[in-house]
């Protein structure tokens, strides 16, 4: 009964006029950003992040979440019509989506991926509703040692698994934690790394960091590279979207398998929607009786990954909301939005802020229905969006970034920070250092330091405190395994083997398009 009461509470929050409006706004902007290649989800969220200062925390989160899952819906459009993934999570959809478009079945592909997205998202939301409270209740027993271990595992996994060199990921994670140190030390009120600046006492602004490293750096990389293309908007008229009976019959099982795999990988730190989409494509190809159809417009090849990435989008909220440990940079931004409003993330979130938690989750239903409406009848509008020239787009985005940074505290210091982090972000692209671990480290760093110092105090200065307690010991052991596996596997063996092939491989990996 309590469960139904919570659902009812959630819907009463999610269905208020303001929340529906901001949910719509988030979904709309998310679709827009997803459709346009060269504008990533992190850039979009950080661009709109300053708005959340002026909103209620629940409304703010509803909007940010709408952008997040909206991009995955929209991202398939560019994949199918242009063979350019709108977001990295949609990269595999190109493999069979683009051939379908060339066979004149682009409309069917767009319609069916929207259905798969909705199916996957619904699957994810149901799991999220069922499991988050259970995990949070279990986590109430955790002390500082467990928290430190858990955050360390989340960070290490996210830095080493996702992409490229494990050492670079770990280094960026540490650098992020160091940037998070700037400002007043919460326990002794010592000013650290402020170099006498009063403005820096409050610390580095999350907004400026995210907008600089992801927004500005992304623009610098994309200028004179992203080209608007002309496609015939008539090819995706509403008439041309009706799937055949065979399409529907072939789609059920891939959708179900995709959603299951997506939900699983969504909850793990460092994996997320892109990996879920890739793996579910591989599984479909292996299970298929006719694997030769894959890559030539097989409908299973778009249904499974699109269901997988959308369910992963939703289940990514499980660790974020139940433990306060985000698994990806986007989830770190969501936590940041909570913390800016003074809400402490962690297992007490659900009992302390039931309106926020249940309202947010139920808003996912609202948002996904809005996306269904936005994507099916309005598909022609989105296709036209693809023809906006980048030379008009990027100065506008840059302007919004700067105004957003300025209005976050009405001080040009934040704009200067955007400048500095834009430069850092570009340098990181040159050195091929990943940005996501930096942001995760930055958000989790202060919490980690607090728990680390408290655990050491309680453990009388003995590091064994992390290994004496059973839960923390298991988590630390897992972290050690992840470290060993990734450092040994990626640097030692794989590197030497790919030495010879490295030049050939350099620019072909579609996932390399940064987040």
Which residues are near another protein by CB under 8 A? 51, 54, 165, 167-168, 170-171, 174-175, 177-178, 181, 185, 187-188, 190, 192-193, 216, 219-221, 223-224, 391-392, 394-396, 398-403, 406-407, 410, 412, 415-416, 418-419, 422-423, 426, 430-433, 449, 452-453, 456-457, 460-463, 491, 495-496, 499, 502-503, 506
CA distance 66 to 51: 14
Q: How far is the CB of 456 from another protein (least distance, A)?
A: 6
Instruction: Rank residues 178 and 283 by Cβ distance to another protein and give the closer one.
Output: 178
Round to the nearest angstrom and report the end-to-end CA distance of the chain. Answer: 42
DSSP 194: -
Instruction: Rank residues 291 and 412 by Cβ distance to another protein and give the closer one.
Output: 412
Q: How far from 362 is each of 181, 250, 346, CA to CA, in Å?
A: 36, 30, 20
Q: How far is the CB of 425 from another protein (least distance, A)?
A: 10
Instruction: Rank residues 188 and 290 by Cβ distance to another protein and give the closer one.
Output: 188
Q: How far is the CB of 443 from another protein (least distance, A)?
A: 15
Alpha-carbon Rg for the chain, nearest whole angstrom, is 22
CA distance 383 to 374: 12
Instruction: Rank residues 4 and 504 by Cβ distance to another protein and give the closer one.
Output: 504
Q: How far is the CB of 200 from another protein (least distance, A)?
A: 14
Which is nearest to 181 in space by CA: 168, 170, 194, 171? 194
How many CB atoms lie under 10 A from the CB of residue 299?
26
Q: 384 is written with which tokens? A: 């036209």
DSSP, residue by residue, 387-426: TS-HHHHHHHHHHHHHHHHHHHHT-HHHHHHHHHHHHHHH
How many CB atoms lie under 10 A from the CB of residue 33?
27
By CB atoms closer than 10 A (0-12, 13-18, 19+), residue 123 is buried
Q: How far is the CB of 468 from another protein (least distance, A)?
A: 15
Instruction: Rank residues 196 and 342 by Cβ distance to another protein and give the closer one.
Output: 196
Which is nearest to 69 in space by CA: 31, 122, 125? 31
Instruction: Rank residues 190 and 290 by Cβ distance to another protein and give the closer one.
Output: 190
Q: How far is the CB of 502 from another protein (least distance, A)?
A: 8
Q: How far is the CB of 157 from another protein (least distance, A)?
A: 17
DSSP 492: I
CA distance 150 to 156: 10
Q: Give the 3-state secondary structure of residue 475.
A: helix
Instruction: Rank residues 86 and 169 by Cβ distance to another protein and give the closer one.
Output: 169
Q: How far is the CB of 142 from another protein (least distance, A)?
A: 21
Helix (H), strand (E) at residue 139: helix 106-139
Instruction: Rank residues 100 and 170 by Cβ distance to another protein and give the closer one.
Output: 170
Q: Give the 3-state secondary structure of residue 192.
A: strand
Alpha-carbon dihedral sign for residues 247, 250, 256, 259: negative
Q: How far is the CB of 172 from another protein (least distance, A)?
A: 9
Q: How far is the CB of 305 from another protein (least distance, A)?
A: 29
Instruction: Rank residues 184 and 372 by Cβ distance to another protein and give the closer one.
Output: 184
CA distance 353 to 334: 15
Instruction: Rank residues 290 and 503 by Cβ distance to another protein and give the closer one.
Output: 503
Helix (H), strand (E) at residue 191: strand 191-192
By CB atoms closer than 10 A (0-12, 13-18, 19+), residue 129 is buried
Q: How far is the CB of 24 from another protein (least distance, A)?
A: 16
Instruction: Rank residues 54 and 289 by Cβ distance to another protein and give the closer one.
Output: 54
Helix (H), strand (E) at residue 184: strand 183-184
Instruction: Rank residues 221 and 339 by Cβ distance to another protein and give the closer one.
Output: 221
Which is nearest to 172 in space by CA: 155, 188, 151? 155
Q: How far is the CB of 209 from another protein (least distance, A)?
A: 14
């Amino acid at each position: 009964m309590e469960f139904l009461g919570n659902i009812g509470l959630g819907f009463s929050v999610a269905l208020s006029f303001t929340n529906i409006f901001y949910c719509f706004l988030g979904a709309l902007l998310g679709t827009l950003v997803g459709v346009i290649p060269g504008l990533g989800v992190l850039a979009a969220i950080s661009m709109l992040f300053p708005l959340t200062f002026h909103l209620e925390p629940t409304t703010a989160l509803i909007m940010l979440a709408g952008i997040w899952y909206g991009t995955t819906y929209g991202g398939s459009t560019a994949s199918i019509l242009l063979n350019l993934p709108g977001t990295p999570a949609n990269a595999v959809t190109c493999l069979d989506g683009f051939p379908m478009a060339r066979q004149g079945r682009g409309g069917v592909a767009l319609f069916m991926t929207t259905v798969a997205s909705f199916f996957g998202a619904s699957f994810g939301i149901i799991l999220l509703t069922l499991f988050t409270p259970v995990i949070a209740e279990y986590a109430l027993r955790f002390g500082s040692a467990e928290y430190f271990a858990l955050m360390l595992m989340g960070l290490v996994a996210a830095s080493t698994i996702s992409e490229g060199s494990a050492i670079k990921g770990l280094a960026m994670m540490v650098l992020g934690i160091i940037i998070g140190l700037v400002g007043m030390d919460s326990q002794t009120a010592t000013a650290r790394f402020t170099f006498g600046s009063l403005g820096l006492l409050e610390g580095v602004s999350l907004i400026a960091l995210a907008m600089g490293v992801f927004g500005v750096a992304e623009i610098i990389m994309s200028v004179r590279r992203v080209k608007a293309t002309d496609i015939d908007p008539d090819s995706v008229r509403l008439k041309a979207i009706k799937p055949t009976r065979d399409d529907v019959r072939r789609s059920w099982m891939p959708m179900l398998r995709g959603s299951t795999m997506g939900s699983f990988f969504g909850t793990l730190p460092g994996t997320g929607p892109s990996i879920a989409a890739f793996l579910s494509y591989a599984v479909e190809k292996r299970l298929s009786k006719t694997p030769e159809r894959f890559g030539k417009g097989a409908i299973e090849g778009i249904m499974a990954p699109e269901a997988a990435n959308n369910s992963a989008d939703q289940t990514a909220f499980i660790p974020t909301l139940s433990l306060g440990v985000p698994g990806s940079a986007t989830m770190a931004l969501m936590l940041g939005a909570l913390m800016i409003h003074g809400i402490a993330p962690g297992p007490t979130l659900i009992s302390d802020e039931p309106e926020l938690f249940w309202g947010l989750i139920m808003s996912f239903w609202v948002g996904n229905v809005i996306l269904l409406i936005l994507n099916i009848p309005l598909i022609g509008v989105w296709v036209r969006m693809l023809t906006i020239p980048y030379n008009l787009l990027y100065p506008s985005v840059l302007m919004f970034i700067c105004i957003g940074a300025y209005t976050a505290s009405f001080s040009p210091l934040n704009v200067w920070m955007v400048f500095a982090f834009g430069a850092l972000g570009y340098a990181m692209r040159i050195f091929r250092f990943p940005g996501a671990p930096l942001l995760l480290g930055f958000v989790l760093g202060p919490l980690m330091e607090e728990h680390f110092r408290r655990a050491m105090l309680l453990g009388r200065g003995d590091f064994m405190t992390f290994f004496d307690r059973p839960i923390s010991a298991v988590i630390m052991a897992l972290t050690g395994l992840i470290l060993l596996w990734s450092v040994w596997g990626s640097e030692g063996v794989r590197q030497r083997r790919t030495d010879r092939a490295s030049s050939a491989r350099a620019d072909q990996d579609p996932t390399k398009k940064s987040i």
